C-alpha cells in the first residue's frame, strides 16, 4: 500500500508494508498516518477490538452546539415514532427496526474484544414497544431521553443505547467520517451499507465512501470524541443508588424495572434531577494522564522500592511505571498496551507505545529502525546485565522495529553501554536505558512544563547516536 | 557595534538572566529550562563570545547550550556566572586609568568612564588603594 504527501501537518509515509506484530493496531497505523489521539476530533478506531467507550445521548442534548441538539431531537423523534408505530398496528416492523438499530458495528464502540457485537432479541424489542402501550406518559408524549429505556426494560444497557443512537444518526456520522478522512488523508473505499433514513423513517441502502477495516474489509464510521463517556449520564446504577428508595435497596434488577414501569413518575423526577445537574456531565477523555501530584507520589514510591522480585516489588514497579510513563509521554505518544511475555521462564513486561512520528527523533527512529511502535521493557533490577539486553534484543524484530528502551533503576555500566553500541554496530539495533534519575527528571518536567518529558528519551537517543561509530 | 557598546549591552543582560535563574535554581536546581529561555540565553552567549576570544574564552569546548541536552537551572547558572567572570576579566584588560579615573581604552580622544577593574591590571603599580575612591561601574 502506498500513500502520498502531507496534509494539514499529518505525515504520511511513502510506502507501507504493514507489519503484523503490532500491539492493538489502530486504523491510522495501517495507513501510515501519524496523528495522535489528542490531535483529532474522533476516537481513533482499533482494528481488532472495540473502543471501550459509549455515545451518551445526554451529551448531545446538553451540548451548546445546535447541530448536536438537532441530532438529539432527531434521535428521540425517530425512536418515539418507531414506538408509536409499534402500538398502532406495525409492531412487527417496529420490532425488526429496533433489532437492527440495536447494533452499529461500524462505529466500533463497546467491550467486544473481537468487534463482534450482538443485537437485542425480539422479546427485548417487544418490551420496548410495550412501553408505548402501557405507560400513559410515554403513550402521549414519548420519551424525552431514549436512555430512559435502561431503567424500564431488561437487557438494555449503555452499549445498546450507544448503538441505537449511532444507528439513528449514522447518516450524520458518515458525513463526519468523510470530512475527517478528507482532512487527514485517510484512504476510503466505495461501498454500500444500510442507513436509517430520518425522512422515510426506515432503512435504506446507501452507496458512499468510507474507510474500511483492513482485516475484515468492513466499513468504519468515526465518532466525535466529544460525545463519548464510559457510562451514560442517565444509567441504571446511578438511578438505583441515588433515586430509588434506599429501603428497597435489596431488590433485584428485574423487580426494579417492573416497579419503574408502574411508577414512571419516579423516572421522570430522576431525569429532571439529572437535567438540573447537566453542567457536571462532560465527556470522558479517551486517555487521562494522572495529575502531577500523583505522578510525584508514584515516583517517590518507585524510588523507595527495592530492586528484584521480593515482596512483589517487581510487579509494583511495573504497575507504577506503566501509569507514570503513559502519562508523562502523553500526548506525544499514545499508550498502546502493557503486555507480558515469557522468555526462558522469566516473565517480562513491556509497555508499548504507538510511534506517532510527531517529533524529529521519533521520525528518525521509524525511518532507521522501522519502529511503528516503541517498546519499553521494565526491569526492576539494580544492574542491567548482558542477558537483559539480549532479552530485549531478541524481542525486537523486523516487524516490531529495532528500537527499544530498558526502564531500570540505575544507569548502564560503561561495559553494558558499550554492549549496546556493539549491538548497533553488528545488528543496527538501538537499545537505550532509562534509569530512576531520568524518570525523576521526566517527572520534574511533567510538573514544570518547561520541556516535554519525552525529550529525555530524545537526549538519550542523541547521546547514543553520537557514541556509535560513524 | 563597537566592543564597548556590545559589552555594555550584553553584560547587564547576562547578569539579569543569571540573577533570575539563580533564584529558580535555589528552589529547583534540577529544573528544566524551556526552549524560549534557552534560545535567548544562547543569543546573549553568542554576543558575549564575540568579545571573549583567545585567552578570555570561558570554556574550551563550550559556546552555547544544546537544546537537546536539556540543561537544568543549575547548569545554566554555572555557565552564566563563569561568563560574567570572564567578561569582567575582559573589561579589566581593556580599561586604563587616567588621573584618578578609569576609562575604556578606546582609540582617539573619546573618553568613556567605567568602574574600577576587579581583576589585576597591567598598570598594577598605579593601583595603591585608589580603587576604593572610584565611582560605581556603569551597568
CA pseudo-torsion sign A27, A30, A31, A34? positive
Q: Is A366 helix (H, G, I), strand (E, B) or coil?
A: helix
Strand, helix or coil for residue A219? strand
Task: Give dist(CA A459, CA A437) in Å, integer.
Answer: 13
Query: Which of A26-35, A118-127, A219-228, A254-263 ranks highest by mean pLDDT?
Result: A219-228
Same domain, A218 and A269: yes
Question: What is the structure's pLDDT at A18?
Answer: 59
* Whether residue A16 has pLDDT greater than 60: no
Q: Cα–Cα distance between A8 and A11 in angstroms, integer?
A: 9
Please report residues of A whose CB lies closer than 8 A to that of B31.
Answer: 444, 448, 450
CA distance A59 to A165: 12
pLDDT for the residue B104: 92
Q: How confident is the model at residue B110 (pLDDT cuts 50, 70, 90)?
A: confident
Lowest mean pLDDT among A249-258, A355-364, B34-43, B103-112: A249-258
ipTM, two decimals, is 0.80
Residue A192: is it exposed, middle or buried by C-beta count within 10 angstroms (0-12/13-18/19+)?
exposed
Provide mean pLDDT across the span A426-450.
96
pLDDT of the residue at A398: 72
Give the count of beta carbons closer than 10 Å to the beta carbon of residue A350.
25
**All three cell numbers of A438:** 531520568
Residue A62 has pLDDT above 90, yes or no: yes
- pLDDT of A1 > 50? The answer is no
Cross-chain residue pair B35–A451, CB shorter than 8 Å:
yes
A266 with A325, same domain? no
The total of structural domains in chain A comes to 2
Which of B28, B30, B32 has its CB closest to that of A451?
B32
Q: For B37, which residue in chain A has the nearest alpha carbon?
A: A450
In the prediction, which pLDDT does B119 show? 84
Listed by number, the residues of chain B in 44-83 with a beta carbon closer than 8 Å to a beta carbon of chain A are 68-70
Q: Best mutation site among B21, B29, B32 for testing chain A: the one with the most A CBs within 10 Å?
A: B32
Does A1 or B11 have the greater pLDDT score?
B11
Residue A470's pLDDT is 84
Q: Which of A246, A280, A314 is the last residue of a domain?
A: A280
Residues of B whose CB is below 8 A from A444: 28, 30-32
Residue B108 — very low, low, confident or very high, per pLDDT cuts 50/70/90? confident
Does some domain include residue A2?
no
Indicate whether A187 belongs to any domain: yes
pTM for this prediction:
0.86
Q: Does B32 touch chain A (CB under 8 A)?
A: yes
Whether residue A74 sits in one domain with residue A200: yes
pLDDT band at A384 (very low <50, low <70, confident <90, very high): very high
> Quick one: A68 and A125 in the same domain?
yes
Between A149-153, A347-351, A365-369, B61-65, the lowest mean confidence (pLDDT) is in A347-351
pLDDT the model gives residue A6 = 33
- Residue A139 confidence (pLDDT) above 90: yes
A464: pLDDT strictly greater than 50: yes
A436 has a pLDDT exceeding 50: yes
- Domain span including residue A200: 27-280
Q: Model confidence at B136, in pLDDT bands (50, 70, 90)?
A: very low
The last residue of one of the domains, among A220, A245, A280, is: A280
Q: Is A16 contained in some domain?
A: no
Categorize the per-residue pLDDT at A14 as very low, low, confident or very high, splitting at 50, 70 and 90. very low
The residue that leads in pLDDT, B46 or B119, is B46
Cα(A136)–Cα(A267) distance, rounded to whole angstroms? 13
A309 shares a domain with A261: no
Structure confidence at residue A382 (pLDDT): 93
Q: Which residues of B touch A448 (CB under 8 A)?
A: 28, 31-32
Query: In this complex, which of A441, A444, A451 lies closest to B34 when CB atoms are compared?
Result: A451
With CB atoms and an 8 Å threshold, state whether A451 touches B70. Answer: yes
pLDDT over 90 at B77, yes or no: yes
Checking if the pLDDT of B124 tops 50, the result is no
B26 touches A at CB < 8 Å: no
Question: What Å distances lie between residue A268 and A58, A131, A145, A390, B53, CA to CA?
Answer: 15, 14, 10, 64, 82
Contact at CB, A455 and B33, closer than 8 angstroms: no
Looking up cell 507520589 gives: A297
Buried b (16+ CB within 10 A) or exposed e, A257-267: beebbeebebb
Of the pLDDT bands very low, low, confident and very high (cuts 50, 70, 90), residue A249 is low
Q: What is the structure's pLDDT at A215?
A: 86
B27 lies within 8 A of chain A by CB? no
From residue B102, alpha-carbon distances to A156, A453, B51, B94, B97 in Å are: 91, 50, 20, 10, 4
Q: Are residues A276 and A399 in the same domain?
A: no
The confidence score (pLDDT) of residue A4 equals 34
A7 inside domain = no
Of A280, A309, A344, the position where a domain reaches its end is A280
For residue A463, give the chain B residue with the closest CA: B69
- Note the pLDDT of residue B121: 62
Amino acid at each position: 500500500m502506498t500513500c502520498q504527501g502531507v496534509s494539514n501537518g499529518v505525515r504520511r509515509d511513502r510506502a507501507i508494508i504493514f507489519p503484523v506484530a503490532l500491539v492493538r493496531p489502530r486504523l491510522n497505523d495501517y495507513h501510515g498516518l501519524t496523528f495522535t489521539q489528542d490531535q483529532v476530533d474522533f476516537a481513533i478506531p482499533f482494528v481488532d477490538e472495540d473502543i471501550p467507550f459509549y455515545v451518551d445521548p445526554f451529551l448531545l442534548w446538553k451540548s451548546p452546539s445546535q447541530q448536536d441538539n438537532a441530532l438529539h431531537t432527531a434521535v428521540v423523534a425517530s425512536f418515539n415514532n418507531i414506538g408509536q408505530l409499534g402500538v398502532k398496528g406495525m409492531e412487527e416492523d417496529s420490532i425488526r427496526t429496533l433489532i437492527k438499530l440495536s447494533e452499529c458495528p461500524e462505529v466500533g464502540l463497546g467491550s467486544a474484544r473481537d468487534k463482534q457485537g450482538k443485537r437485542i432479541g425480539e422479546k427485548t424489542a417487544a418490551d420496548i414497544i410495550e412501553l408505548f402501550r402501557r405507560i400513559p406518559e410515554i403513550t402521549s408524549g414519548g420519551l424525552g431521553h431514549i436512555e430512559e429505556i435502561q431503567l424500564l426494560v431488561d437487557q438494555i444497557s449503555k452499549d445498546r443505547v450507544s448503538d441505537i443512537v449511532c444507528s439513528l444518526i449514522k447518516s450524520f456520522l458518515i458525513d463526519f467520517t468523510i470530512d475527517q478522512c478528507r482532512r487527514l488523508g485517510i484512504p476510503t473505499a466505495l461501498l454500500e451499507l444500510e442507513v436509517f433514513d430520518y425522512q422515510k423513517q426506515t432503512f435504506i441502502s446507501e452507496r458512499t465512501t468510507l474507510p474500511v477495516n483492513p482485516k475484515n474489509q468492513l466499513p468504519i464510521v468515526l465518532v466525535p470524541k466529544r460525545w463519548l463517556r464510559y457510562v451514560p449520564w442517565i444509567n441504571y446504577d446511578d438511578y438505583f443508588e441515588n433515586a430509588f428508595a434506599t429501603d428497597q435497596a435489596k431488590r433485584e434488577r428485574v423487580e426494579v424495572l417492573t416497579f419503574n414501569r408502574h411508577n414512571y413518575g419516579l423516572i421522570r423526577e430522576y431525569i429532571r434531577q439529572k437535567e438540573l445537574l447537566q453542567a457536571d456531565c462532560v465527556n470522558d477523555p479517551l486517555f487521562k494522564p494522572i495529575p502531577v501530584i500523583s505522578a510525584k507520589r508514584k515516583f517517590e514510591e518507585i524510588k523507595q522500592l527495592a530492586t528484584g522480585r521480593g515482596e512483589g516489588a517487581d510487579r509494583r514497579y511495573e504497575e507504577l511505571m506503566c501509569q507514570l510513563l503513559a502519562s508523562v509521554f502523553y500526548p506525544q505518544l499514545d499508550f498502546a498496551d502493557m503486555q507480558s511475555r515469557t522468555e526462558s521462564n522469566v516473565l517480562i513486561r513491556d509497555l508499548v507505545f504507538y510511534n506517532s512520528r510527531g517529533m524529529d527523533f521519533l521520525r528518525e527512529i521509524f525511518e532507521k529502525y522501522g519502529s511503528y511502535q516503541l517498546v519499553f521493557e521494565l526491569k526492576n533490577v539494580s544492574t542491567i546485565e548482558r542477558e537483559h539486553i539480549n532479552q530485549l534484543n531478541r524481542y525486537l524484530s523486523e516487524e516490531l522495529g529495532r528500537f527499544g528502551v530498558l526502564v531500570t533503576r540505575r544507569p548502564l555500566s560503561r561495559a553494558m553501554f558499550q554492549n549496546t553500541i556493539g549491538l548497533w554496530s553488528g545488528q543496527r539495533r538501538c537499545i537505550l536505558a532509562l534509569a530512576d534519575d531520568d524518570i525523576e527528571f521526566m517527572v520534574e518536567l511533567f510538573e514544570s512544563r518547561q520541556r516535554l518529558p519525552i525529550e529525555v528519551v530524545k537526549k538519550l537517543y542523541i547521546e547514543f547516536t553520537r557514541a556509535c561509530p560513524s | 557595534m563597537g566592543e564597548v557598546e556590545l559589552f555594555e549591552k550584553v553584560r547587564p543582560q547576562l547578569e539579569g538572566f543569571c540573577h533570575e535563574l539563580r533564584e529558580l535554581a535555589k528552589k529547583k536546581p534540577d529544573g528544566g529550562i524551556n526552549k524560549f529561555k534557552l534560545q535567548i540565553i544562547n543569543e546573549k552567549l553568542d554576543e558575549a563570545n564575540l568579545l571573549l576570544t583567545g585567552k578570555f574564552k570561558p570554556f574550551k569546548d563550550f559556546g552555547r547550550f544544546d537544546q537537546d541536552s536539556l540543561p537544568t537551572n543549575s547548569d545554566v547558572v554555572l555557565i552564566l556566572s563563569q561568563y560574567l567572570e570572564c567578561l569582567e576579566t575582559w573589561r579589566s584588560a581593556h580599561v586604563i586609568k587616567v588621573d584618578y579615573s578609569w576609562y575604556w581604552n578606546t582609540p582617539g580622544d573619546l573618553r568613556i568612564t567605567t568602574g574600577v577593574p576587579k581583576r589585576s591590571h597591567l598598570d598594577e603599580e598605579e593601583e595603591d588603594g585608589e580603587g576604593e575612591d572610584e565611582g560605581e561601574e556603569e551597568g
